[in-house]
Structure 1
Amino acid sequence: MTDRELDAAGVSDPALRAAYRHCRALNARHGRTYFLATRLLPVERRPAVHALYGFARWADDIVDSLCPGAGADVRVRALSRLQEELEEGLRRDGSGEPVVRALADTARRYAIDHAHFRDFMTAMRSDLVVTAYPTYADLRAYMQGSAAVIGLEMLPVLGTVVPQEEAAPHAAALGVAFQLSNFLRDVGEDLDRGRVYLPADLLAGHCVDRELLAWSRATGCPDRRITAALREFEALTRSVYRAAVPGIELLDPVARPCIRTAAVLYGGILDAVVRDGYAVLQRRSVVPRRRRAVVAADGLVRVAAPDCVCGGSRPPAARLRPRAARSRPLAGDGRPLRRGGRVNRRRLPLSLRRNAVPWERQRPTWREAQPGLITGALKRAQARPSGNWYVVGASRALCGDGKLARTVAGQEVVVWRGPDGRLVGGPGICPHLGAPLRDSPVRRGTLVCHWHGLALDGRPYAGWSPLPVHDDGVLVWTRLDAVGGEEPLDAPVVPRRPEPTRALTAVYTGVGVCEPEDVVANRLDPWHGGWFHPYSFADLTVVDAPGCPADAVHDGADALTVDVSFKVAGRLVVPVRAVFSAPEPRTVVMHITEGEGAGSVVETHATPLGDDEAGRPHTAVIEAMVAASHRPGFAAARRAAPLLRPLVRAAAGRLWRDDLAYAQRRWQLRSTGRFPA
């Protein structure tokens, strides 16, 4: 145990410090995976984890490694002595035995339920008499004491952002998943000790019994029946991981990298078993050192940025308990200790990408990107009301004497700010002789026709009538009732977004030969991201998508949920979870719901411009990026917005270079009756 860890934990008694060091040595020598993960915890919490592991390891060694040839009676007496030491230590808050002394101190500091330790000892005693488990239910009953309680003991040390009883089932399941991984890896070693942890009914389902296992162990010969049984046990174990891993997000953010790393490493045992062809009766499967190093490096990145979602995220702030109520060791006066005497404020929004594969070897997504699913989402978007509102451009264009001029659905529109700063807009044709007002300047809130000097201040004049316009703080909209043909709305359907004054905003505009629906269809197909944009996205998975058929038009706000990593450099990525939705016919919104920049929004608006001389439709893609962050340095980023906006627009332009090709191709095929959907 390092002095830094003990000092941070507030352990000053020399005998107690020696006890914790002894536990740390046990963890380092026997629990390589556990020890590696523990190093990702805040320093003040590590001693407690070493104490919990040291006690469990000591009891396990009595059962399995006391001394060669030791009989069951010797082991029973040793466990009984340990039980007595445990009860005495918990009662007196100390013991002459170092491991129990450290355990009792940890139990006091973190208010760990003593029943967990007693349940664990009961499971250890059963190992001396029980050598097989008829069913998985029987095995789970044993693991409640041997593994689930380990997760429950750890929970107060790790801390939670929800009531502990809410996180407890996940913690218990993760302890069970870890032990199931060990059971699969150690089938041969456990068989040598006379025990078979794989349920007998699972083995019998593949015509496997203890005798067949012993034969394979003795001869070194594999058997396909054994392989099939092991494969089923592996699948069962993975199902327990799936139930357990969501609980990591319920932990204190600073504890998540440790447990996530442990879950990856223990899950790696299953991968190693599969890689070795389930030959666990012939050799011990291990996680390669290189793999362990990569996972550890990823964990270190997560330690630097525990609030970014690298496969996980910070729960809503409303669910966080007060900081003092989170799990932190107590000093002698009952106050929470600071980490190493100070608060570690280092944060990085990055993750080291694991298991990177070449572009051509990534998982194909064409089966999931079902044309009917995309078409159904598109039709539902088209059925939603827009109120005849169309996006014209960015609000920032109207600073000072700026103006926005665009042809929308064949109608020329111009928008500016009047003499009183109020937003005004109307037809882009001068009522005098038809001059194009897009080329005319604004002077002190008045639009002055550059042909003959006719001045327009936004009020009706000589047949020129103003149009309804709206500024949402990021984008400017106009309402064209003659074009839209819908029931007018007083204001456009503006997606929920961060407050613009506290966000970094940028707006990109591009034009393609297509119709708005082609742009919307592109955005409702997130499956193409990793394939079509490999320079920007990696590890893209659509985790939830609407399953309605294409002809089911309704008012539900269906959405597509995507886990994706934005590439930064090399294997460094920023993982997030994003939700795509279409609140109206010409808009698709991507909300980042978890990970770095949670709450940020990317809005894609498709504004029809009109047909060219060849009769081909043109559509403007107007994309607003509204970024937000909890990081203190984000205020500096907002101050540097004039420098950052061109970079953000350039990145968006690179993506839309490809996505407009997608949309244009879709229109070309649709317009000639060749689209495959």
Structure 2
Amino acid sequence: MRETPSRAGGGRHRAVLVEKARESIKLGSKSFNAASRLFDRGTRERVWLLYAWCRRCDDIADAQDHGGALGDQSKAKDRVEAIHVLTDRAWEGLPTADVAFDAFGLVAKECGITREMADDVIAGFELDAADWRPRTERDLMQYCFHVAGAVGVMMARVMGVPRDDDDTLDRACDLGFAFQLANIARDVVEDDAAGRCYLPVEWLVEEDIEPGQHTKPHHRQELANMAARLAKLARHHRQWALVGTQALRFRQRWAIHSAARIYGAIGDKVEELGPAAWDRRVHTSRWAKMGHVAAAFFDAVRKAHPMPAEPPAYTRRDFAIVAEPVLQDI
């Protein structure tokens, strides 16, 4: 029997994969799509390819379409196993019959994304499939690492950051932390409706909230208190993330500063609104996005960013899967 040849992208033409990935990001994330257009063409295409895989994994795990309503949540572990199998094949350069996974195989080959980096992301889907809940702040940050910080690390590789540049990779992870913390603050009521809660149990106990009651109207002030904690954590990691942009090229810095401003505005707005933050979904308008992009241009021109006084309490090395060392024959 003839073996299937191993080719990055599963044998699909690169242009086809890039176009399908462009369509995916356009449908899945207006904010990320806007920021990605600031990259140079080569980086932009690779960002799209990686995004397509992230979006598809998320959709498979949650039985949804481009981040829409959650589908049937039964057999979640089987769906995550399917993600593992398809990602394995894609990383090995084998065809998957799924454009998004073939796109991952291509960008992984082009940018040196490791299997461990992909496993770090898939571990986040495994936590959700296991109906996992964080008990401590560290647990919360572990989840944020797997679903966003690890993606930031892969995005840094897409932008050409060397695998041994630990400082810059740590800063890329910080940006993922910041994004996810803001998302949790904004989406806490929606998450509760879906049967999920990413607020640490210890925080709920400190606020004297009964189990499963944190989104009820009589606890809106307590919920606002916890959202403010999330926003503060997000700001701290965002500040550290921007320190790392000085290692990037100008257009890459501009894109990252734009994304940081756009997503940062979400967490800041949730904190500002207090108990009213969930009366309607917080979002960034088109005109506001344009303002953030314009302001980010000058951030990128200045290049240097002040280093915060306090280091982050957690980094990617607290949570990342470490590759086994390769043993050399003696």
TM-score (norm 1): 0.41
Measure how far apart 1:297 and its partner are: 3.1
Name the structure 2 match of 1:265. Answer: 262
Distance 1:250 1:237 in 2: 22
Distance 2:132 2:288 in 1: 34
Measure how far apart 1:235 and its partner are: 1.6
Identity over aligned pairs, percent = 23
Matched, 1:249 2:246: yes
Measure how far apart 1:224 and its partner are: 2.0
| 1:20–1:51 contact (8 Å) kept in structure 2 | yes
Distance 1:69 1:111 in 2: 34
Distance 2:127 2:288 in 1: 35
Measure how far apart 1:176 and its partner are: 1.0
Q: Which among 16, 19, 23 is matched to residue 21 of structure 2?
A: 23
Name the structure 1 match of 2:304. Answer: 313
Q: Deviation string for 1:555-612 (max 9, x for gaps)?
A: xxxxxxxxxxxxxxxxxxxxxxxxxxxxxxxxxxxxxxxxxxxxxxxxxxxxxxxxxx
Matched, 1:295 2:292: yes
Question: Secondary structure of the residue that 1:186 maps to in structure 2?
Answer: helix
Measure how far apart 1:266 and its partner are: 0.7
From the superposition, tell whether residues 160 and 211 of structure 1 become closer, same or farther in structure 2 (CA, over 3 Å): closer
| 1:186–1:280 contact (8 Å) kept in structure 2 | no
| 2:124–2:147 contact (8 Å) kept in structure 1 | yes
From the superposition, tell whether residues 115 and 160 of structure 1 become closer, same or farther in structure 2 (CA, over 3 Å): closer
**In proportion to residue count, which structure has more helix?**
2
| 2:178–2:233 contact (8 Å) kept in structure 1 | no
Question: Secondary structure of the residue that 2:212 maps to in structure 1?
Answer: helix
Task: Please tell me the residue identity of whatever aligns with 1:70.
Answer: D
Distance 1:161 1:249 in 2: 14
Q: 1:594-673 maps to which residues of 2 (within 5 A)?
A: none
Name the structure 2 match of 1:4. Answer: none
Q: Deviation string for 1:657-677 (max 9, x for gaps)?
A: xxxxxxxxxxxxxxxxxxxxx
| 1:158–1:255 contact (8 Å) kept in structure 2 | yes
Distance 2:84 2:100 in 1: 12
| 2:182–2:263 contact (8 Å) kept in structure 1 | yes
Question: Secondary structure of the residue that 2:255 maps to in structure 1?
Answer: helix
| 2:262–2:289 contact (8 Å) kept in structure 1 | yes
Name the structure 2 match of 1:143. Answer: 144
From the superposition, tell whether residues 250 and 95 of structure 1 become closer, same or farther in structure 2 (CA, over 3 Å): same
Question: Secondary structure of the residue that 1:246 maps to in structure 2?
Answer: helix
Measure how far apart 1:278 and its partner are: 4.3
From the superposition, tell whether residues 229 and 71 of structure 1 become closer, same or farther in structure 2 (CA, over 3 Å): closer
Task: Please tell me the residue identity of whatever aligns with 2:239.
Answer: R
Question: Secondary structure of the residue that 1:286 maps to in structure 2?
Answer: coil
With CA pairs under 8 Å and 6+ residues apart, which has the higher RCO, 1 or 2?
Answer: 2
TM-score (norm 2): 0.81
Q: CA RMSD in A?
A: 2.7
Task: Please tell me the residue identity of whatever aligns with 2:158.
Answer: V
Question: Secondary structure of the residue that 1:195 maps to in structure 2?
Answer: coil
Q: How many residues align?
A: 295
Q: 1:163-312 maps to which residues of 2 (within 5 A)?
A: 164-216=165-217, 223-299=220-296, 301=297, 308-309=301-302, 312=303
Task: Please tell me the residue identity of whatever aligns with 1:25.
Answer: E
From the superposition, tell whether residues 15 and 96 of structure 1 become closer, same or farther in structure 2 (CA, over 3 Å): farther
Q: 1:4-403 maps to which residues of 2 (within 5 A)?
A: 15-66=13-64, 70-73=72-75, 75-92=76-93, 94-160=95-161, 164-216=165-217, 223-299=220-296, 301=297, 308-309=301-302, 312-313=303-304
Question: Secondary structure of the residue that 2:213 maps to in structure 1?
Answer: helix
Task: Please tell me the residue identity of whatever aligns with 1:88.
Answer: R
Larger Rg: 1
Task: Please tell me the residue identity of whatever aligns with 1:192.
Answer: A
Measure how far apart 1:117 and its partner are: 0.7
Measure how far apart 1:65 and its partner are: 4.0
Measure how far apart 1:172 and its partner are: 0.9
Task: Please tell me the residue identity of whatever aligns with 2:186.
Answer: R
Measure how far apart 1:161 and its partner are: 9.0
Task: Please tell me the residue identity of whatever aligns with 2:74.
Answer: A
Distance 2:30 2:71 in 1: 27
Distance 1:36 1:23 in 2: 14
Measure how far apart 1:96 and its partner are: 2.5
Distance 1:82 1:63 in 2: 8
Name the structure 1 match of 2:326. Answer: none
Question: Secondary structure of the residue that 2:178 maps to in structure 1?
Answer: helix
Distance 1:171 1:242 in 2: 11
Structure 2: tracts of 5 or more residues without a match: 1-8, 310-330
Moved more, 178-187 or 267-276: 267-276
Distance 2:232 2:70 in 1: 35
Distance 1:17 1:278 in 2: 47
Measure how far apart 1:52 and its partner are: 1.2
| 1:148–1:172 contact (8 Å) kept in structure 2 | yes
From the superposition, tell whether residues 64 and 81 of structure 1 become closer, same or farther in structure 2 (CA, over 3 Å): closer
Measure how far apart 1:231 and its partner are: 1.8
Distance 2:181 2:88 in 1: 29
Distance 2:277 2:24 in 1: 26
Measure how far apart 1:208 and its partner are: 2.6
Task: Please tell me the residue identity of whatever aligns with 2:73.
Answer: G
Q: Deviation string for 1:240-264 (max 9, x for gaps)?
A: 2222221112223331001111111
| 2:18–2:49 contact (8 Å) kept in structure 1 | yes
Distance 2:283 2:250 in 1: 29
Measure how far apart 1:234 and its partner are: 1.8
Distance 1:161 1:78 in 2: 32
Structure 1: tracts of 5 or more residues without a match: 1-10, 315-540, 545-677
Distance 1:55 1:162 in 2: 21
| 1:155–1:168 contact (8 Å) kept in structure 2 | yes
Distance 1:162 1:85 in 2: 24
